[in-house]
Amino acid sequence: EDNLFKNVIAHAKEYGFIFPSSEIYDGLSAVYDYGQNGAELKNNLKEYWWKFMTLLHDNIVGIDAAIFMHPTTWKASGHVDAFNDPMIDNKDSKKRYRADVLIEDAIAKMEDKINKEVEKAEKRFGDAFNKETFITTNARVLEYQKKIDETNARLKDAMGNGDMAAMKQLVIDLEIADPISGTKNWTDVRQFNLMFSTEIGSLAEEANKIYLRPETAQGIFVNFLNVQKTGRMKIPFGIAQIGKAFRNEIVARQFIFRMREFEQMEMQFFIKPGEEMKWYEYWKAKRMKWHQTLGLGNENYRFHDHLNLAHYANAACDIQFNFPMGFKELEGIHSRTDFDLKNHEKYSGKKLQYFDSEENQSYIPYVVETSVGLDRLFLSVLSKSYQEEKLEDGSERVVLRIPAPLAPHKVAILPLIKRDGLPEKAEAIMNDLKYDLRCFYEEKDAIGKRYRRQDAIGTPYCITIDHQTLEDDTVTIRDRDTMKQERVKIADVKAKLIDACSI
Ligand code: ATP
């Protein structure tokens, strides 16, 4: 798995998907640039999300707020005081970790133990096995479960109270060892604020300090009434946004999974207080379905409920994806109550209430949000599409089986050879297709080599123009996944490809 991940990263660079930022200066830690193919894939993902949110839901509109916001925004949102990660260092390896993540990993290990016990018993008892009865009576399972519940409760308390000594005690009690040094020689747990700051205007004074937004959501909250009034929106309604966010992640690793500059696609859904659980369940199901329609395999997604809730939430879960390094958070779904709007009211002194004409009363709406990291979504598609294949003739190929609607290029136009009028014919075909489908033209190298290059960037179809084309106006269409070719009339090509490449 580790090797596979390395190969994916190398492939992403070699084929113009992702480059380290400012690479000629040896890169910048946890910052990446998207290359010519990566930018196309990323744009397609954005479009897919944006259309789903704003076209398929007539009560959701999109905005594009600025990255810089009035500094009081971050006081009101709680980020100045509470957006801290508890960090711990191993004294031997000198590596720094998030203490809450170490503890959650330890909990996951205990959960694994329970699953192993269940599996073992399943084998032993065969048809007579009853899982319910087993887990409520087996002594070992009960012991693990008790420990899990206790640990979760302690973690929740420690995080809720910002009690760093209690976090450290948990690391000690769980006997967590550093994966690198193998030792349990830990420093105290300390908190780091994740926001980047800079100065606005020319004077470097504390009063001019502003932050780069650590989430896009606040741009939506502060515009809530602007949108509601100008758009004549009625509750329930949503506001969607795609944009950059910045976090000074202390433990930045795992390629584009955890970056310091990244992109979020968020939607805040404004609802009547008291209806939050209904809408929370609604968006959980909707978002899961959306991911599954991408076609990467339903078994690669699962929900993970949060037991330790962030300062703003009364219910929260993640949609996790099976990344090369295991199941990890891809999207968060949070019931944020009226936490944000209420605090913006308090700090700004401006009313942020909605007048409900049916109820004939004003209230601060509740919010359920869906928040997906665009870069993590990109990584999910890239890592699952990447496949190394052994072919029947003994040769090997690397193919990106990117779902056709998301592929950077939909079709490659390839004249078999560079003469006899084939390039001219190819150009005419391309001119007919290029306004509807992103085309890639290539005439250099043997045709087999060109097919391989298209496989490597995930182009779902190759059109080859050969001598027969000049005689009967047909071309071959090669399918990336099956590598099969079929002869098709030029007149039928466009409709066929548009059909195959639409969502
Ligand atoms: P994590 O626990 O992994 O740090 P989070 O719970 O802090 O993530 P949220 O604040 O809920 O994340 O942000 C919503 C989404 O934004 C996440 O599901 C993730 O896809 C994305 N995201 C958050 N931080 C990063 C990052 N540093 N790099 C890339 N994507 C990120």
Give the pLDDT of residue 493: 97
**CB-hemisphere CA count at 13 Å for 7?**
15
Look-up of token digits 């609604």: 282
Atom of ligand 1 nearest to the CA of 334: 11
Ligand 1 centroid, distance to 263 Cα (angstroms): 10
Query: Do 404 and 433 touch, CB atoms closer than 8 A?
Result: no
pTM over 0.90: no
Give the pLDDT of residue 1: 59
First-residue to last-residue Cα distance in the chain:
30
User: For ligand 1, atom 10, which residue shows the shortest CA distance?
Assistant: 215
User: For ligand 1, atom 14, which residue shows the shortest CA distance?
Assistant: 371
Q: How far does CA 411 lie from the centroid of its chain?
A: 26
User: For ligand 1, atom 24, which residue shows the shortest CA distance?
Assistant: 258
Query: Which residues sit in the known binding site?
Result: 98, 215, 247-249, 257-266, 329-330, 369-376
Ligand 1 centroid, distance to 119 Cα (angstroms): 33
Residue 243, ligand 1, Cβ within 6 A: no
Atom of ligand 1 nearest to the CA of 310: 6
Atom of ligand 1 nearest to the CA of 329: 18
User: For ligand 1, atom 8, which residue shows the shortest CA distance?
Assistant: 329
Give the pLDDT of residue 320: 97
Ligand 1 centroid, distance to 48 Cα (angstroms): 20
Give the pLDDT of residue 502: 85
Residue 329, ligand 1, Cβ within 6 A: yes
Q: How much is the ipTM here?
A: 0.97
The DSSP letter of residue 133 is H
Give the pLDDT of residue 200: 87
What contacts 297, CB < 8 A, 6 or more positions away? Answer: 384
Q: Strand 386-390 to strand 366-373: parallel, antiparallel, or no bridges (unpaired)?
A: unpaired
Q: What is the DSSP string of 307-364?
A: SS--TT-SEEEEEEEEETTEEEEEEEEEEEETHHHHHHHHHH-----EEETTTTEEEP
User: For ligand 1, atom 29, which residue shows the shortest CA distance?
Assistant: 258
Give the chain's largest Cα–Cα span: 81
Ligand 1 centroid, distance to 357 Cα (angstroms): 37
Give the pLDDT of residue 83: 78
pLDDT in tens, the chain (503 residues): 579 999 999 999 999 999 999 999 999 999 999 999 999 999 999 999 999 999 999 999 999 999 999 999 999 998 988 778 899 999 999 888 999 999 999 999 999 999 999 999 999 998 889 988 998 999 999 999 999 999 999 998 998 888 999 999 999 999 999 989 999 999 999 988 889 999 888 766 667 889 999 999 999 999 999 999 999 999 999 999 999 999 998 776 789 999 999 999 999 999 999 999 999 999 999 999 999 999 999 999 999 998 777 777 889 999 999 999 999 999 999 999 999 999 999 999 999 999 999 989 999 999 999 999 999 999 999 999 999 999 988 999 999 999 999 999 999 999 999 999 999 999 999 999 999 999 999 999 999 999 999 999 999 999 999 999 999 999 999 999 999 999 999 999 999 999 999 87
Residue 371, ligand 1, Cβ within 6 A: yes
User: Residue 61's closest CA among 238, 296, 224?
Assistant: 238
Give the pLDDT of residue 380: 98
User: For ligand 1, atom 4, which residue shows the shortest CA distance?
Assistant: 258
Give the pLDDT of residue 449: 95
Rounded (5°) CA angle 33-434-476:
105
Give the pLDDT of residue 455: 98
Ligand 1 centroid, distance to 373 Cα (angstroms): 6
Give the pLDDT of residue 117: 92
Distance CA 55, CA 53 (A): 6
Pairs from 287-292 (Cβ < 8 Å, separation ≥ 24)? 287/319, 287/331, 287/333, 287/370, 287/372, 288/319, 290/49, 290/52, 291/319, 291/321, 291/330, 291/331
Give the pLDDT of residue 314: 87
Ligand 1 centroid, distance to 372 Cα (angstroms): 8
Q: Angle, nearest 10°, between helix axes 422-433 and 490-501?
A: 50
User: Residue 335's closest CA among 308, 365, 366?
Assistant: 366
Give the pLDDT of residue 205: 65
Query: Which residues sit in the known binding site for substrate?
Result: 98, 215, 262-266, 369-373
